[in-house]
Amino acid sequence: MIDKIIDRTESISLVGLGYVGMPIAVAFAKKANVIGFDLNKAKIETYLNGIDPTKEVGDDVIKNTTVQFTSDETKLRDAKFHIVAVPTPLTESKTPDLSPLIGASEIVGRNLTKGSYVVFESTVYPGVTEEICVPILEDLSGLKCGVDFKVGYSPERINPGDKVHTLENIVKVVSGCDEESLDTIAKVYELVVDAGVHRAQSIKVAEAAKVIENSQRDINIAFMNELSKIFNKLDINTNDVLEAAGTKWNFLKFTPGLVGGHCIGIDPYYLTHKAAQVGYHSEIILSGRKINDQMGEYVADNIIKTMVKNHIDMKHPRVAIMGLTFKENTPDVRNTRIIDIVEALNEYGVEVVVCDAEADASEVKHEYGIDLVKFEEIKNVDVVVAAVAHNEYLDVSKETLDKMFRSELKILFDIKSIYSKYANDFVYWSL
């Protein structure tokens, strides 16, 4: 299989061309024939027009890649090595929503041919690949796993917006249903992953490794958020404390913040869901989740308290929020927790205006019903909330911030502490 992929007599397919799947497809296309499939025809048209809406690789790369972009699932029959990279979100009750993964498995199953390999990259709890995906593949293909086709799991580790920790530079965890599939899957990924691969002992081990990576980060951020709440009551600057503590060699340098996106704010619920199925109720993981899920409302409450304390006219209060994406320097607004601040302020009757240097205005309108304004159009507000540390916002001057306010009393909420140098020039608050 690896020889046929290298000499381009067999093809690789990518099922799901979002922030994860598309960069993988582009990377493999440098070494092999790649079929890039996505159900979203509009997305496929965007790629065919040479546009990268994710901004992960850029328009020039999309224009010049050899990936065969398609929304025709029958084209998958031309590939023998399939990589599935679809979202694994949550339901409203915060339980795993496997419908995108099940749908992708059905598509691959309908077009699976004998001798193929199927590798899942979507974040799941241990057991999903073998207990849910494999039966679907077998049922719809009429083939037998381990005999007619092989499966594996290799968790995605791409960090949206990060131009340093890319697919090529991050060690890839790989696993297979047997020794042969493990070896083949490892060698295929070694074509594009310069950092090398780690061969996990089993598919379940690889699934568990992925889900705990983000759970660990979530817990550490929750600890920082709890410290921020404590220090806020003690009138101590959290960043000053962290800077002092960070001088010790083994201090973990996490910072407080809103935890959103498609990984850290979601993956812990996958692990705790599986834990509950086997009779264990998580304590630390769910406690961390509770803290992080409440941070948007916590920020909004402090905005209201600060306005009241400073005698802002609460009949028609106006707040501007700079940034809506779930993290800096990406247009990705999926599961952004900035929306929690907006919704909480709206409940208080506050008029909220939002700008974002990276987000797509039409997507924001569709997802959240918010009409983005341009940064330079913000004026006559009582509070400015610097919510996302996009590069475009880092060098904003004090004078520019001053012009946004409608009175001499200027309240600046700096969630990411990017304007700490202006702390003495405003009624200043930060996490």
322 forms bridges with which residues in the sheet?
355, 386
Query: What gap in Å lies between CA 272 and CA 286, rounded to an integer?
Result: 7
351 forms bridges with which residues in the sheet?
318
DSSP H or E segment with residue 385: strand 383-386
| 177 noted as active-site residue | no
Which one of 133, 145, 177, 263 is the catalytic residue? 263
Q: Helix crossing, 203-233 with 295-309: angle to 10°?
A: 10
Joined together, the tokens standing for residue 25 give 């497809």
Q: Helix crossing, 134-141 with 99-110: angle to 10°?
A: 30
What is residue 232's three-state secondary structure? helix
What is residue 151's three-state secondary structure? strand
Close Cβ partners of 365 (under 8 Å, ≥ 6 residues apart): 371, 372
- For residue 357, which of 367, 335, 345, 372 has the smallest C-alpha distance? 372
For tokens 């009949």, the residue is 315
Close Cβ partners of 416 (under 8 Å, ≥ 6 residues apart): 257, 328, 386, 387, 388, 389, 430, 431
Burial class (CB in 10 A: 0-12, 13-18, 19+), 416: buried
What is residue 38's three-state secondary structure? coil
Q: How far is CA 334 from CA 229, 339, 416, 422, in A?
A: 26, 10, 19, 31
Residues with catalytic annotation?
263
